[in-house]
Amino acid sequence: MQSVRELSSGTPRGWPGLPEDLPPPIESTRLDELAKRHPRIAALRSKLAAAQAEIDVAKSNRNADPVIGASVSRDGENDIVGLSFSIPLYVRNDYSDEVDSAASNALAVEARMHAEYERLQAQLKTALENYQSSRNALQDWNQAVSGRLDEGLDLLERLWQVGELNATEYLLQIQQRLDTRASGLRLQAQTWSSWTNWLVVSGDWQAGLSELGL
């Protein structure tokens, strides 16, 4: 909390409230698009571009341009103009090893990027399915149970007060409803956890938080 206060421009008034319902999951058809613009893939794409640039540098060293030079001197009253023309001869080093090394490095980076892309797609698919499943289960629980719990508790209290239930029956019924409420809270926590995991895996947490107005 102290770190949060230090980072903020003023004293925080309180943490933002959390909404009762979470945003709907994205369509599974968008996973490919999301994977392509994921920060991990973007970083590897930059590395690949740098590796490909190294190939161009190595090739340019291998195929250096001829060097043309000019000189002016004087011999008595005569001006002498000299021209020189040289072509690099790589007798000892033709830079083929450098080109091969740069090409090999680029291929390795490209292979790593494709492997990371496949791994990321699998992670996104799993995270999305977990979130969909948890969110659907929570919605079903809310529709089937949540609203009736409070009504049931009120009814139990009235029955106990008029003597329709003894203390043991009343406490037993209360315990059962509290257990049901606890299971709903656990399901809610699981749904929030799967949602935050989805944000972490997708790398799209800014868009996710903005959907909630946070």
Q: Is 76 exposed, middle or buried (0-12, 13-18, 19+ CB in 10 A)?
A: exposed
Are the CB atoms for 88 and 34 separated by under 8 Å?
no
Question: What mean pLDDT is predicted for residues 155-184?
Answer: 82
Structure tokens at 98: 């450098």
Distance (Å, whole) CA 94 – CA 97: 8
Do the domain assignments include residue 2?
A: no
- Number of domains composing the chain: 1
Q: What is the pTM of this model?
A: 0.66
Residue 5 pLDDT: 46
In this predicted structure, the answer to whether residue 147 has a pLDDT above a threshold of 60 is yes
In this predicted structure, the answer to whether residue 156 has a pLDDT above a threshold of 70 is yes
Do the domain assignments include residue 187?
A: yes
Do the domain assignments include residue 12?
A: no
Do the domain assignments include residue 16?
A: no
In this predicted structure, the answer to whether residue 12 has a pLDDT above a threshold of 60 is no
Radius of gyration of the chain (CA): 35
Residue 181 pLDDT: 85
Are the CB atoms for 87 and 80 separated by under 8 Å?
no
Do the domain assignments include residue 15?
A: no
199: containing domain:
26-205
Do the domain assignments include residue 36?
A: yes
CATH of the domain at 32: 1.20.1600.10
Do the domain assignments include residue 211?
A: no
127: how many CB neighbours lie within 10 A of its CB?
A: 20
- How much of the chain, in percent, has pLDDT values that exceed 70? 69
Do the domain assignments include residue 210?
A: no
